[in-house]
Structure 1
Amino acid sequence: MGTRKDYDDIPGTYVFDADASREGYHLNQFCISMRLQKNRDEFNSDEAAYLDKFPMTAEQRQAVLDRDWNGMLALGGNIYYTSKLAANDGINFQQLAGIMTGMGQEKYRKMMLDGGRSPEGNRYQSEWDEKGES
């Protein structure tokens, strides 16, 4: 994407900014199309053919087919749009967060009820580099 930004090394985070919006435009147009039943029906009957309507990159298209949720975000997907695809697959937002964090739904839910992710160990990559850790 574009120039280096101060927030590029936030650990485990894809910031959806103007550059990501441009990169993911067609991916996000596909995902938001999932809000309509007729589009979900068409997609569910032939995923590859439906995806042909959206000029995504090969990587974006494969991320959709593989349901690579983090990959979609890395390729410019917006979490609120990609969650439409998850909903089509019967995955609610809490389940999706559990999948994306690798924690699973129950562990993720418990963490959030207990106050969220601990800041301990969640440093900018540059902070780890300064300490000689990775």
Structure 2
Amino acid sequence: MALDKPYLDVPGTTVFDAEQSRKGYWLNQFCMSLMKAENRTRFKADERAYLAEWPMTQEQREAVLARDLNRCIALGGNIYFLVKIGATDGVSVLKMVSTMSGMSELDYQKMMLTGGRSPEGNRYLHEQQPAPPACDPTPPETR
């Protein structure tokens, strides 16, 4: 039985719900393994070999190797687990989340210190105006 998930209508947001938890279980377990120094050493020595030990999907492995954290989240990763990868790489959480937002560290930090993103235009996907087709010859004022 599918549950109603109104939070799927929030732009740019992946809620870590039960479905995401199941999808990312082994990805998140891999991340937690990095809490042990010997596992961090093994991972850094041969990332592909270490990842092959985990029953993750190939897509999850490739996202980790690319350090594509947004993709990891889409594939069931939880940011609280994914920061273990950043810590292993010596990357700060600020650096990680700024790259996830497509902003420089300084710009992201300034934005967060001044109250975060504006809610304007970021409430719900159904409230956003669809972009007109690229080849629509109708002038915007008559649409």
SS in structure 2 at match of 1:96: helix
> TM-score with structure 2 length normalisation?
0.86
> CA separation of 1:52/1:16 partners in 2, compared to 1, >3 Å: closer, same or farther?
same
Q: Deviations over 1:19-64 (max 9, x none)?
A: 0000000000001111111000000000111011110011101101
Deviates more, 1:2-11 or 1:108-117: 2-11
Quote how far apart the aligned CAs of 1:9 are: 2.0
Identical pairs, percent? 54
Quote how far apart the aligned CAs of 1:77 are: 0.1
Alignment of 1:5-24 (within 5 A): 5-24=5-24
RMSD across aligned positions (CA): 1.3
Partner of 1:104: 104
The answer to whether the aligner puts 1:133 opposite 2:130 as a matched pair is yes
> TM-score with structure 1 length normalisation?
0.92
Quote how far apart the aligned CAs of 1:17 are: 0.6
Aligned residues: 130
Quote how far apart the aligned CAs of 1:91 are: 1.0
Quote how far apart the aligned CAs of 1:118 are: 0.8
Distance (Å, rounded) in 2 between the aligned partners of 1:95 and 1:40: 20
SS in structure 2 at match of 1:116: coil
Unaligned runs of 5+ in 2: 132-143
Runs of 4+ residues over 3 Å off in structure 1: none
Quote how far apart the aligned CAs of 1:90 are: 1.3
Alignment of 1:36-51 (within 5 A): 36-51=36-51
Distance (Å, rounded) in 2 between the aligned partners of 1:69 and 1:3: 26
Look up the equivalent residue of 2:104 and give its one-letter code.
Answer: G
Task: Give 1 or 2 for the bigger CA radius of gyration.
Answer: 2
Partner of 1:34: 34
Partner of 1:73: 73
Unaligned runs of 5+ in 1: none
Distance (Å, rounded) in 1 between the aligned partners of 2:67 and 2:74: 13
